[in-house]
Amino acid sequence: MLLKTLKFSLISILAFLILTSCNTKKNETSEIIDNTKNESLFIETMQKHLDAVTNKDLVTLKSTLSPKGNMQLILPQTKITNTVEEFMKYHETWFAMDNSWSFETKILNTEIGQDYGIAITEIVYREPERDGKPYFNRMYVSYALQKIDHSWYIIKDHASSIEKSTDE
């Protein structure tokens, strides 16, 4: 009788271990899929934002910004702005000034969490002519994104010039 009880207990423990092991693997796989989807949505939002600037598309640009209205823009030699409204006003003015400029973008790296992430990009801004010569400004731009209601939004944009055609 004791041997029968011991066998039953051993079989029960083995079954429990097998089931929990399978469940752990399932949870790990599910977590990997969730992280992959999260990263994919982050990159998609970031690229949508960069393409909107490149294409001077104000409607799409605004759709990538926080629905809470917070958006910090830090540019060299410019006052910091802190709202979506100020960000959009800046871009409306910029886009309306001259349409001959171009914008080349590349996402260099990202750090993506569950609710916040950052992206570092390289951007080359070009004008066919400024003061009689072609002009460019190569920048590193860092972006902070926040996940709100399962979607990613840009909440910070900080540009630093690395090299300009006007540098001596």
Tens digit of pLDDT for each residue in 102-134?
Answer: 999 999 999 999 999 999 999 999 999 999 999
pLDDT of res. 110: 97
pLDDT of res. 35: 83
Check whether 21 has a pLDDT greater than 70.
no
pLDDT of res. 99: 75
- The model carries a pTM of 0.80
Question: Mean per-residue pLDDT for 63-77?
Answer: 96
Listed residue (81, 56, 94) closest to 157, CA to CA: 81
Asked whether 42 and 75 are in contact (CB, 8 A), the reply is no
Could you give the number of structural domains in the chain? 1
Asked whether 102 and 85 are in contact (CB, 8 A), the reply is no
**Dihedral angle of Cα 94, 97, 102, 105, to the nearest 10 degrees:** 0
CB atoms near residue 46 (< 10 Å): 23
Query: What's the CA gap between 130 and 151, in Å, rounded?
Result: 39
What range does the domain containing 116 cover?
2-164
Tell how strand 133-148 and strand 116-130 pair up: antiparallel
Residue of higher predicted confidence among 1 and 98: 98
pLDDT of res. 19: 58
Asked whether 65 and 87 are in contact (CB, 8 A), the reply is yes
Tell how strand 70-74 and strand 151-164 pair up: parallel
We report the CATH number of the domain holding residue 141 as: 3.10.450.50
* Sign, CA torsion 16/18/20/22: negative
Check whether 18 has a pLDDT greater than 80.
no
Query: What's the CA gap between 16 and 114, in Å, rounded?
Result: 32
